Each structure stands twice: as C-alpha cells, then as structure tokens.
Amino acid sequence: MVETPKDPAQPVPLVQLGLHHTLDYLERCIQHCSLFLPDYEFGKDKLVQLWIAEACIEVEAPKRMEDVANSYFDILVHEEVIIQSNFDKLYRQAKYKVNASKASTWNLQGGMGNLSKLQTLKAFIVGKNDGCGIGELKNMNDITGSFCISRLENVTNAEEAKQAALADKQRIDKLELRWHDHGNDNSQDTAKILECLQPHFHLKELEIISFSGSKLPSWISNPSFTKIASITLYKCINCDILPSMGELPSLKTLHIVEMKMVRDINTLFCRTHGTRGFNAFPLLEKLTLDNMPNLEEWTGIQDGDFPCLRHLSIRYCPKLSVLPSMSYFCCLQHLEVSHCMQLISLPEGLLPGSLEHLIIRDCPNFSERCNRDRGQDWLKIANIKNIWIDFQEISLY
C-alpha cells in the first residue's frame, strides 16, 4: 500500500512522514521562512539545509532527513507559500522567495484539508478527531496515482462520506477503500457510506477491503467506468449477492475473495435486470473465486459471455457443486480448481480447445473422475497439454 521511493530525489509521500508530525514540522518550516527579509531569494538546497540545521525537521530511520525536507519544500511550493522568483543561468538552478501574504495566513491547524494542491499522497487514515476526518479530502482534487483510504469505520454516516468528494478526484488511477477488520457493526449504515464514496469515472483499479455492509454499492455496476481494468473485493463478509459487473467495458481482472455469505452466482452477476443483447465481461481475462465457503452454484452465463477469459481459478469453495459449462469460455487457457470437495465432475459439454493448463487439488471426487486409468472424465481432459492433479503431473503418454 505504501512504497518507499527508490529515487532519493523523489518526494516522500505524506503518509510515510507521519500525519501528525508532518503538520507540526511544516508549520515550523513556515515559521522559519517568515524570518527572511522581503524579496530574499534562495535555492532549494540551501533552504533544505537550513531547515535541517535549525532542527525544523526530525525523522526516524530509515528515512533520510534530506528526503523529508525536500518533500516539505515541494508541498509549500504546491501551496504557493514558496514561489519561484528567478532562474540563475550561471548555476542553472531556480531561485525562490517566500510569498509573505500566503505564509502569514496559511496554517495547518484545521488539518490536512489545507493541502488543497497536494499531488503525492499514497494513503489517508480516517481519524475521529478534528482535522482527521474524511472531510479533509474535500478540496484535495489534485491527488494523483494510487490512493488508499483506511480506517473507514471511523466515518459515522453517509453525509460525512460525501464530504470526501471522491467523484471530483479525476487523477486517482487506483483507489483502495479499507475498513479495519469487520468495521462498523451496523451493516446498513456502512453500505450507505460506501455508496457515497463513488470515485471519478476515470478510475482504473478498485479494491474494497473488509467492508462489513450488507450490499456493495450500485456504482460498481455502472458502465460509465470505461477505464476500470481491475477490481478486488476482499472480506466483504456480510454481502450475500455479487453485484453485476458484466457491463464494465474495460474490466480485465476480477478477484473475489472471502465473500463468505454468497451462496450462488447467477444471471445478475453478468447483467442487470432487463439488459440484453451484449456479451457480459467483454474484456475480462482473469477471474478468481477464492475462499467462499457457502458458495453452492455458479449459473447464469449465456453464449458470448466471457469472450476473452483466459485464466479461471476457483479455490476453497467446499460447498460448490454446480459450475457453468466450460464451453462458454472459448479462450480459456488456465483452469485451477482446488479445495472444492463437493464438486463431482466437470460440467456437461466440451472443454474449450484453447485450454492448456488444468490444475486440480483436494477435490477427491473430481480428481477420481479425472484419473487417467479409470476416470469417467479422462477423455474430456486427455488433450490438455499440462495436467496436475494433487501436485502430481499427469503424463499423457
């Protein structure tokens, strides 16, 4: 979730600096700058070294003090507390000065919400105190790249969630929405909160983690998310119905993990009520169903659905006994089925000719039927190049 920059010159994300310490130290740096004479010009490196010498900044290992100080400088440039005034052609470096009017009025006592021009922020931890609520994100519309909002159980209601204005943040490519463990005990309130955290339609990746609401948001089915290529649903423990995602035009990877209340996957997974005349999941290449202990059947697929699916993994679904015909998956190359004790055999119909890898583990009945010497399903799988059953490669000759 949080990565340390490999390039020493790259600004350190605020989340790595420590939120509360960051606010204090930024104010120290501003106070230090206020001592300069009007129109005094300085280089970035010189000011950074002054901050370090004057103990405006403190860090803990393994962070480098210069990296942190450089990040503070960049933040204050974004906020126009420090502005570029000149360019020294001899030394080929920018010169800066303090924007006195901004420095005298700008402060962080109200929290991170004042960092309205911040671009590099990997994560925001929602707190309960003033200045730490999710509303601090309201005006931070320049956040770019990957962004995680964690401790969402500290959001008390839908109105508070709306204040984050995620739909206005069009530069976020990847969004992770994370609750801690099981989050809020009131699943209906939690569902309303998530409904109000709709991101911008430019989003490319979405992860929803440890969500305890009873229903996933309606916006996750919206085909207006034309760029979203990857979705992960992890530990959504109270959801008993998978949302329709088949109309997302660019979705390539879908991971569904530890959704323990789901009993069946049906037509609604592919298409909403009344929608016809399209191929569901038109670009999906990889689908994972993992640790779904109550899943009993998967049905509802039509001809033309999943036209690009290449990799299908079904793991730890001990009650699963019904699968769709594999013939629907015309491009399938890799099929893994493990720890599905109730699965007796392959579904009716031929396997796609594209299938190259078949892995079966801890599915005793299924494994027996695929036995080379006496298995009733052996002829169905005999042309697959690579077959592994219970960690043993099955020779075709």
Of 75 and 322, which is predicted with more confidence?
Answer: 322
pLDDT classification of 201: cutoffs 50, 70, 90: very high
pLDDT at 75 over 70: yes
Give dist(CA 278, CA 292) in Å, integer. Answer: 28
Give dist(CA 315, CA 286) in Å, integer. Answer: 14
Give pLDDT tens digits for 146-186. 998 988 999 999 999 999 999 999 999 999 999 986 544 56
For 83, the token pair is 């502005």
**ω into 5 cis (within 30 of 0):** no
Give dist(CA 341, CA 364) in Å, integer. Answer: 6
The HSE-up count of residue 102 (CA atoms within 13 Å, CB side) is 15
Alpha-carbon distances of 237 from 110, 230, 256, 339, 351, rounded to whole Å = 36, 20, 11, 20, 33
- For the chain, the average pLDDT equals 85
For 270, the token pair is 């592919």
In sequence order, what are the residues at sequence separation of 6 or more whose Cβ sits closer than 8 angstroms to the Cβ of residue 22?
Answer: 14, 72
pLDDT at 397 over 90: no
pLDDT classification of 121: cutoffs 50, 70, 90: confident
Output the pLDDT for position 395.
72
pLDDT classification of 127: cutoffs 50, 70, 90: confident
Of 278 and 286, which is predicted with more confidence?
Answer: 286
Specify the pTM. Answer: 0.74
pLDDT classification of 133: cutoffs 50, 70, 90: confident
pLDDT classification of 9: cutoffs 50, 70, 90: very low
H or E segment at 338? Answer: strand 334-338
Output the pLDDT for position 13.
42
pLDDT at 84 over 80: yes
Output the pLDDT for position 232.
98
pLDDT at 109 over 50: no
Mean pLDDT of 73-93: 83
Give pLDDT tens digits for 207-250. 999 999 999 999 999 999 999 999 999 999 999 999 999 999 99
Give dist(CA 72, CA 364) in Å, integer. Answer: 59
| Least confident residue range of 89-93, 104-108, 178-182 | 104-108
In the chain, where does the domain assigned CATH 3.80.10 lie? 117-309+316-323
Candidate CATH numbers 1.10.3470, 3.20.20, 1.10.10, 1.10.3210; the one for domain 14-105: 1.10.10
Output the pLDDT for position 18.
42
Candidate CATH numbers 3.30.429, 3.80.10, 1.10.150, 3.30.420; the one for domain 117-309+316-323: 3.80.10
Q: Which of 91-100, 149-158, 275-284 has the highest mean pLDDT?
A: 149-158
pLDDT at 19 over 50: no
H or E segment at 195? Answer: helix 187-195
169 phi and psi angles, rounded to 5 deg = -100, 80
